[in-house]
Amino acid sequence: MSVNPDEDQLTVVVPNAGGASQDSLGQQVSFTAGSQPVSVSLAPDKTSAYVAMRHSQQLVRVIGLNSGTAQTATVDLSFGSSGGVKVGSEPSGVALLHTAPSPSSPTTARRRSQ
């Protein structure tokens, strides 16, 4: 997968589809003009992805990557009345964890002590 900020698209490539000798284009997903997708991360289910949109300051979920007709939806980053998580001005990346680390995990404890 790759994003094309100039064309506001996500391109999905299927490696060696069906035993073919070459990779093939799975599909191209178009976003709102001017949204400027800059980063993509494949979700653990391998059928959806998350795309950071620099200009529109959004996180977009793309579902159905394996269906041939992917759909997009803006991710609701709000949590209650606190106003939610802001992606900030011109987000430039996205990363996913399979599960959130617990506060008592060794990794989390190490980060807090540094």
Query: What is the per-residue pLDDT for 98?
Result: 66
Query: What is the per-residue pLDDT for 93?
Result: 83
Say whether pLDDT at 72 is over 60. Answer: yes
Q: Is 93 exposed, middle or buried (0-12, 13-18, 19+ CB in 10 A)?
A: exposed
Mean pLDDT of the residues in the chain: 75
User: What whole-number distance in Å separates Cα of residue 48 and Cα of residue 59?
Assistant: 13
Say whether pLDDT at 29 is over 60. Answer: yes
Element spanning 111, H or E:
helix 106-113
Bigger pLDDT: 34 or 94? 34
Say whether pLDDT at 69 is over 70. Answer: yes
Question: pLDDT tens across 74-91, in order?
Answer: 876 655 544 445 667 778
